[in-house]
């Protein structure tokens, strides 16, 4: 009897040296380092370097690495034009997906599969996706694009390009923490998509374009946006329990809760939850934290299901001033590091990813003869 592993749940597909998610110890390690320690102690670029190179950079290596990224932040004119030409009715993740594809089409080394070229393309994509996210949010608000600044680190420049100002250091720190926590998570759906595409020996931009599409769904990265939609529906903390009862009765899933791998809580949530608390104080929005806690408590009491990283990140990005549909693009701006690290790892020891299926359609039958 063929055993079916629906959704590949519980199936170990390959090895990886990039990160490990351990539900038993509730830990997430990037190249051996606890992700929560990296989030509290490192700038995002150090973590990107670690995920790509396997080791944390020395100060000189970090400076050189940051210099490479900063000099490539401006989008090619053709990419800006293409983004500005897209209808504002489309989702911002459609814009990121399309932009990554166009960036690939303009990249002279797009078809070069060497590790050096793939690393250079990854550095470029990491540098340029923030510009796509920023230009898109601005055009939807009727605002012109803002040129990137090469005197700012990644997180600060993303704010600059989006809002034309750099916020309080505590806001920047909270944002940087979210970027580090979002950067990598082993064989999640979008990363696996990237690895499947890479396994056919397709190019890096194709793999990232596919990964963006997979991240968009609300069962994956799209959940951080959905959390704000949920909060808008509930309104105030006192209505959370009744709202949840109705959702459970209707057998609807509550976005931002549950996880395929963690069954005792997402290892990243405590760190991001602490920073959400800091943001709530900074922006003086205790009502938002009350609502957050009321739904979390009601969910735990009724289902025992705990929040995942998208739950604290959604309200954190809201407080920072990002438009809700921009939340998943922000996730993509960070996760591109993990995707590309996995593309390079896949190619270093490639085997075409092609599972089997059990056919359960009609038995063999003859096509009716034609007159
Ligand atoms: C960064 C990230 O991508 S983290 C994930 C973000 N996604 C979300 O927040 C979407 C909401 N969560 C979910 O849909 C799920 O928890 C998933 C898809 C993340 C993981 O789910 P799976 O491992 O496939 O478990 P599955 O969906 O089968 O759920 C198991 C049971 O728990 C229930 N359950 C799981 N998550 C939720 C939820 N968020 N709300 C309500 N019930 C849930 C399911 O209904 C199911 O119940 P049943 O056995 O009575 O049918
Ligand atoms: O690992 C997963 O399935 C989803 C997730 O939390 C992530 O990609 O960060």
**Residue holding tokens 């998208």?**
310
Please give the pLDDT value at position 255: 97
Query: How far, in Å, CA of 11 to CA of 13, rounded?
Result: 6
> Which of 241, 197, 231, 239 lies closest to 327, judged by CA?
231
Q: Given this model, what pLDDT does residue 263 score?
A: 85
DSSP E strands in 167-210: the ranges are: none
Its pTM stands at 0.98
pLDDT at 269: 98
Domain residue ranges of the chain, discontinuous segments joined by +: 18-167+184-215+329-347, 220-318
User: 241: CA distance to ligand 1 center in Å?
Assistant: 19
Count of alpha carbons within 13 angstroms of residue 342, beta-carbon side: 31
pLDDT at 282: 98
Instruction: Give the neighbor-by-neighbor strand order of the sheet with 33-34.
Output: 19-22, 27-30, 33-34
Nearest bound ligand to the CA of residue 244:
1
* Nearest-CA residue for atom 45 of ligand 1: 253
Ligand 1, atom 48: closest residue by C-alpha: 251
Q: Which CATH class is domain 220-318?
A: mainly alpha
DSSP state of 13: -
pLDDT the model gives residue 325: 98
Identify the segments of the chain with pLDDT beneath 70: none
- Report helix, strand and coil shares of the chain as percent, to nearest 5: 60, 5, 35
Q: Which of 179, 206, 207, 180 is nearest to 191 (CA)?
A: 207
CATH architecture for the domain at 18-167+184-215+329-347: Orthogonal Bundle (1.10)
Q: How many residues does the chain have?
A: 371
Segment 139-163, tens digit of pLDDT? 999 999 999 999 999 999 999 999 9
Copy the structure tokens of residue 229. 């939609």
pLDDT in tens, 339-353: 999 999 999 999 999
Whether 260 lines ligand 1, by a CB cut-off of 6 Å, is yes
Closest CA to ligand 2's atom 9: 185
d(CA 39, CA 338): 15
Report ipTM for this prediction.
0.98
18-167+184-215+329-347 and 220-318 agree in CATH topology: no
């Amino acid at each position: 009897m063929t055993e079916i592993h629906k959704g590949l749940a519980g199936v170990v597909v390959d090895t990886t040296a990039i990160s490990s998610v351990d539900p038993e110890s509730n830990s997430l390690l990037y190249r051996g380092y606890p992700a929560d320690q990296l989030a509290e102690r490192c700038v995002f670029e150090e973590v990107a370097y670690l995920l790509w190179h396997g080791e944390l950079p020395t100060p000189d290596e970090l400076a050189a690495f940051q210099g490479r990224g900063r000099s490539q932040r401006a989008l090619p004119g053709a990419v800006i034009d293409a983004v500005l030409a897209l209808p504002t009715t489309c989702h911002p993740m459609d814009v990121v997906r399309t932009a990554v594809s166009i960036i690939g089409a303009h990249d002279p080394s797009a078809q070069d599969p060497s590790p050096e070229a793939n690393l250079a393309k990854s550095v470029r994509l990491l540098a340029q996706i923030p510009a796509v996210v920023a230009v898109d949010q601005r055009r939807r608000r009727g605002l012109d694009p803002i040129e990137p600044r090469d005197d700012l680190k990644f997180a600060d420049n993303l704010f600059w390009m989006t809002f034309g100002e750099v916020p309080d250091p505590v806001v920047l720190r909270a944002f940087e923490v979210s970027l580090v926590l979002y950067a990598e998570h082993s064989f999640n759906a979008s990363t696996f998509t990237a690895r499947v595409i890479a396994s056919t020996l397709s190019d890096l931009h194709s793999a990232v374009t596919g990964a963006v599409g997979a991240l968009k769904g609300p069962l994956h990265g799209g959940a951080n946006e959905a959390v704000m939609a949920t909060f808008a529906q509930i309104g105030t903390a006192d209505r959370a329990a009744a709202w949840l009862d109705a959702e459970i009765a209707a057998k609807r899933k509550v976005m931002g809760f549950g996880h395929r791998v963690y069954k005792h809580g997402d290892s990243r949530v405590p760190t991001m939850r602490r920073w959400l608390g800091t943001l709530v104080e900074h922006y003086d929005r205790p009502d938002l934290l009350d609502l957050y806690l009321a739904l979390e408590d009601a969910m735990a009491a009724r289902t025992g299901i705990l929040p995942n990283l998208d739950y604290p990140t959604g309200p954190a990005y809201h407080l920072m001033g990002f438009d809700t549909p921009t939340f998943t693009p922000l996730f993509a701006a960070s996760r591109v590091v993990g995707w590309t690290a996995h593309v390079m790892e896949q190619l270093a020891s490639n085997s075409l990813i092609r599972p089997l299926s059990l056919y359960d359609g009609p038995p063999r039958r003859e096509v009716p003869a034609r007159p």
